[in-house]
A = this chain, B = another copy of it.
């Protein structure tokens, strides 16, 4: 039987969190949301496609910036309410032009910026 995105568990807004991880380095790049249709599109096209909660529209990652995410493998968690996407990330994943969105660390109770925006 072919996988059906409707078998995942979505929240009250019809969304499921999706974590993008660099398939080669293991770096966690970002977390965003998908609805059932964006899961289907991502699997069909191989281009990671989130659902933008602010715009209420599909968000084909990198469509504007060119920093696309190509799906290598999708994984589902035990509760079927979270996705882990192993991706090939072109350029920066973060809209601030950093490789990852998680560029701020807490060290000794202070926020430390781990990387500057890329050129």
Which chain A residues numbered 1 to 26 have a C-beta less than 8 Å away from chain B? 1-3, 17, 19, 21, 25-26
Please determine whether B30 and A105 come into contact, CB atoms closer than 8 angstroms. Answer: no
Please determine whether B31 and A82 come into contact, CB atoms closer than 8 angstroms. Answer: yes
Q: How large is the interface on A (under 10, 10 to 19, 20 to 34, 35 or more residues)?
A: 35 or more
A101 within 8 A of B: yes
Q: Tell me, in angstroms, the Cα distance from A103 to B76 when the chains sit together.
A: 7
Please determine whether A31 and B77 come into contact, CB atoms closer than 8 angstroms. Answer: yes
A109 within 8 A of B: yes
Please determine whether A31 and B3 come into contact, CB atoms closer than 8 angstroms. Answer: no
Please determine whether A105 and B75 come into contact, CB atoms closer than 8 angstroms. Answer: yes
Q: Contacts A25-B26, A26-B25, A111-B3 known; A102 to B84 CB distance under 8 Å?
A: yes
Q: Tell me, in angstroms, the Cα distance from A118 to B106 when the chains sit together.
A: 33
Please determine whether A77 and B30 come into contact, CB atoms closer than 8 angstroms. Answer: yes
Minimum distance in angstroms from A11 CB to a CB of chain B:
9
Q: Can you list 11 pairs linking A and B with CB atoms under 8 Å apart?
A: A21-B28, A26-B26, A26-B27, A31-B31, A73-B107, A74-B106, A75-B106, A75-B114, A79-B101, A82-B102, A84-B102
